[in-house]
Amino acid sequence: MSEVLLQQIERLAADAKTKSTQLHKGETMIEIEQSQLKNFITRLVNQIKIRHLSTITGLDLGQNIGIIYHFWRDRNTIHLKTFVPKTKPTTVSIVDIIPGAILYEMEIHDMLGVMFVGNPWMDKKLLLPDNWPDDLPPPLLKNVKPADIRKRLGLEVEKK
Amino acid sequence: MTEDKPPRKEESAGLMKYSAENLVPFGPIHPALKEPEYFKLVLEGEKIVEVIPRIGYVHRGLEKAAESRPWVQNMYMFERTCGICSFVHSLTYGQAVEGLTIYEIPRRAKFIRTIIAELERIHSHLLWVGLMGHWAGFETLFMWVWRDREVVLDLVEAISGNRIHKSMNAFCGVRRDMPEGMEDRIVERMKFLVDRANYYKGIVDTEETMLERTEDIGRVSAETAEKLCAVGPMARYVGLRRDIRLNDPYAAYDEVPFDIVTSKEGDVHALLKLRLDEMIVAANMVSYAVKHLPEGPIRIKIPPVIPAGEHSSHSEAPRGEIFYYVKSSGGRTPDRVKSRQPTMANLPTALEILKGQTIADVPVVLTAIDPCFGCMDRMSFLDIESNRQWTWSGEELRRYGINYYFPERMKMR
């Protein structure tokens, strides 16, 4: 990671009352509060000109669900990590800043049940089948077993 | 050429008499092709005003499956994500995992990875150019290009033993060495492919069918493409210099000289030429890498347990950036693997391009972005007002598109 960029990122992180840590060469991880997220990304896009969002990853971390936004420019990768509690999985959408994030947010909504407030397509399914029962938990959570899903959807073939 | 053509609306009046907004469900399934997708097209007359995507018909839950499989087994599972750009998936997943270990990849392995990745790029681009010819109504191009594609597949088979799923990668190296005495054959075949690519460039520049169907179609501005996070040729054809091989070199891309191709025109015709140019660049890279292949080991064996940590890796597939994120808790299986394919990243841009196009251009535009064409084999049309409904197969849609542009040709058949 170039020195100048690193300093800029550190300054941004300090403004958001958090710290940046170096994961590997050229890779920075920043853990950030949900309330600071939009402000941080706006400044990342407008001031530092890191405009390309690779994707958004959702992680099941036990009590919380982790959401990581992966940005890169040249040889620098920035992971922006935020947490939402499993009891109330709601966070803000960044579609108004980065319109390209719309499908990534839909994917996490399908797979981990996180609601992104502000995403216009949150009521639609992207990956899950149309006959997915509403009371079935999102499939990528750790406690969900593929066999249970198959059984519930009537796809399990009984062994004789 | 454009002057003596009747206005589009009157020309199609006999085929589609609509007054209000129409909804056109587009897709979703064809079992033989790689990725069925489904688009809900909202029409105003002939024009598309809104597109709503629905994917996941072949969602196989790879990310969930990866959590219960050993690290190395996942490499060959992720290779089977795609039937065209298979190698680059295992490469990127491998790089993400290798980043968590302390081992250095041998230089010879890096070169072999580069050679296979570039051969795969040539293969993918050739396949695409052929399909473009097919959907535009120029079958001869399709036949020629797919014949030349066999040249690449034969080489890949000679090197790896397989045509599509090469299974060449291993953690910190490759599984098979380059066969002895292949150098001259590869260089000679690459020269042949460069000649063919130059010839096709001449064709797409002069042949009326291709010009008519591709020029000025599928335009998008550079700002929009950047905002929508477009990757690969979809970013480069509007002038963005976005290529992971150059921006963030992996494998041996920092040792093999090359320059990326960009275009300013920003239509499907520019995309055609851009992909043919990229093929030439890739063929030259393969020749260079084969001639300068370093000696040494091709692989380091690593233990099956990967140290705890998080790492991500990205690389340039034929269609654009592929992204993998892995999280390990120090066990024999990963904690989480996230994989993002270029079509997913390019889909928002594709939807933006489709807006304002006509139905006749849908096959060309959708093929241009190189997602998947499976969706085009079954389309059903629904007129909301009269509740009239009908279905077109992919072939009927193709004929409709050709008839729209060249009515006299269809009469002759």
pLDDT at residue A51, as a whole number: 87
Chain B residues with beta carbon closer than 8 angstroms to that of A146:
61, 64-65
Alpha-carbon distance of B263 to B233, in angstroms, equals 9
Nearest-CA neighbor of B156 among B179, B131, B188, B173? B179
Q: How far is A102 from chain B (nearest CA, A)?
A: 8
For residue B69 the two structure tokens come to 């499989």
Answer whether residue A139 is part of any domain: no
Strands A76-85 and A27-31, sheet pairing: parallel
For residue B307 the two structure tokens come to 């140290």
Q: How far is A16 from chain B (nearest CA, A)?
A: 23
Chain B residues with beta carbon closer than 8 angstroms to that of A100:
227-230, 345, 348-349
- Site from B306, B338, B341, B353 to mutate, A interface, most A CB atoms within 10 angstroms: B338
pLDDT at residue B412, as a whole number: 53
Domains of chain B with CATH codes: 8-54+346-412 (no CATH), 62-340 (1.10.645.10)
Q: Which residue of A has its CA nearest to B325?
A: A57
Answer whether residue A148 is part of any domain: no
Answer whether residue A49 is part of any domain: yes
CB contact under 8 A, B227 and A99: yes
Answer whether residue A136 is part of any domain: no
pLDDT at residue A137, as a whole number: 87
Q: pLDDT tens-digit profile of A38-57? A: 988 998 888 888 889 999 99
- Asked if the bond preceding B257 is cis, omega within 30° of 0, the reply is no
Q: How far is A99 from chain B (nearest CA, A)?
A: 5
Q: pLDDT tens-digit profile of B262-316? A: 888 888 888 889 999 999 999 999 999 999 999 999 999 998 899 999 999 999 9
Alpha-carbon distance of A94 to A85, in angstroms, equals 19
Q: pLDDT tens-digit profile of B379-394? A: 334 333 444 445 566 6
Beta strands in B213-319 (DSSP E): 309-317
Chain A residues with beta carbon closer than 8 angstroms to that of B229:
52-54, 98, 100-101
Q: Which residue of B has its CA nearest to A79?
A: B312
Indicate the length of chain B as a whole number. 413
Q: What are phi and psi of B17, to 5 degrees?
A: -105, 100
Nearest-CA neighbor of A103 among A124, A82, A77? A124
Task: List beta partners, residue B337.
Answer: B326
Alpha-carbon distance of B150 to B367, in angstroms, equals 21
Chain A residues with beta carbon closer than 8 angstroms to that of B55:
126-127
Answer whether residue A159 is part of any domain: no
- CATH number of the domain that A28 lies in? 3.30.460.80
Number of domains chain A is built from: 1
Smallest Cβ–Cβ distance between B55 and the set A51, A126, A142 belongs to: A126
Residues of chain B with pLDDT under 70: 1-21, 25-36, 369-398, 409-413
Smallest Cβ–Cβ distance between B227 and the set A59, A70, A98 belongs to: A98
- Residue A147, class by beta-carbon neighbours within 10 Å (0-12 exposed, 13-18 middle, 19+ buried)? exposed
CB contact under 8 A, A126 and B327: no
Q: Is A40 helix (H, G, I), strand (E, B) or coil?
A: helix
Answer whether residue A33 is part of any domain: yes
Task: Look up the domain containing A61 and give its range.
Answer: 3-127
Nearest-CA neighbor of B243 among B314, B344, B302? B314
Nearest-CA neighbor of B277 among B166, B381, B202? B202
pLDDT at residue B111, as a whole number: 93
Q: Which helix (H) or strand (E) holds A15?
A: helix A3-15
- Site from B37, B59, B335, B349 to mutate, A interface, most A CB atoms within 10 angstroms: B59
Answer whether residue A20 is part of any domain: yes
Residue B28 gets the label, from left (phi > 0), alpha (psi -120 to 50) or beta, of: alpha
Smallest Cβ–Cβ distance between A103 and the set B67, B321, B344 belongs to: B344
- Site from A54, A60, A123, A140 to mutate, B interface, most B CB atoms within 10 angstroms: A54
Q: What are phi and psi of B358, to 5 degrees?
A: -100, 165
- Mean pLDDT score of chain A, rounded to an integer? 86
For residue B43 the two structure tokens come to 């029409």
pLDDT at residue B347, as a whole number: 84
Residues of A with CB under 8 A from a CB of B: 23-24, 26-27, 29, 51-55, 57, 59-60, 68, 70, 72-75, 77, 79, 98-104, 107, 110-111, 121, 124-129, 139-140, 142, 146
- Site from B104, B224, B340 to mutate, A interface, most A CB atoms within 10 angstroms: B340
Q: Which residue of A has its CA nearest to B338?
A: A57
Q: Which residue of B has its CA nearest to A76?
A: B248
Q: Tokens 């929508």, residue?
A: B228
Which residues 6+ apart lie within 8 Å of A127 measured at CB?
A: A106, A107, A110, A111, B55, B56, B59
Answer whether residue A155 is part of any domain: no
- Site from A2, A28, A41, A57 to mutate, B interface, most B CB atoms within 10 angstroms: A57
Q: Which residue of A has its CA nearest to B314?
A: A54
Q: Which residue of A has its CA nearest to B52?
A: A121
Alpha-carbon distance of B11 to B308, in angstroms, equals 64
Residue type for position B148: D
Q: pLDDT tens-digit profile of A70-111? A: 999 888 889 999 999 999 999 999 999 999 899 899 989 988
CB contact under 8 A, A126 and B309: no
CA angle at B231 for the pair A108 and B115, rounded to the nearest 5°: 115
CB contact under 8 A, A126 and B61: no
Chain A residues with beta carbon closer than 8 angstroms to that of B336:
57, 59-60
With a cut of 70, say whether residue A33 has pLDDT above it: yes
Smallest Cβ–Cβ distance between A139 and the set B61, B248, B323 belongs to: B61
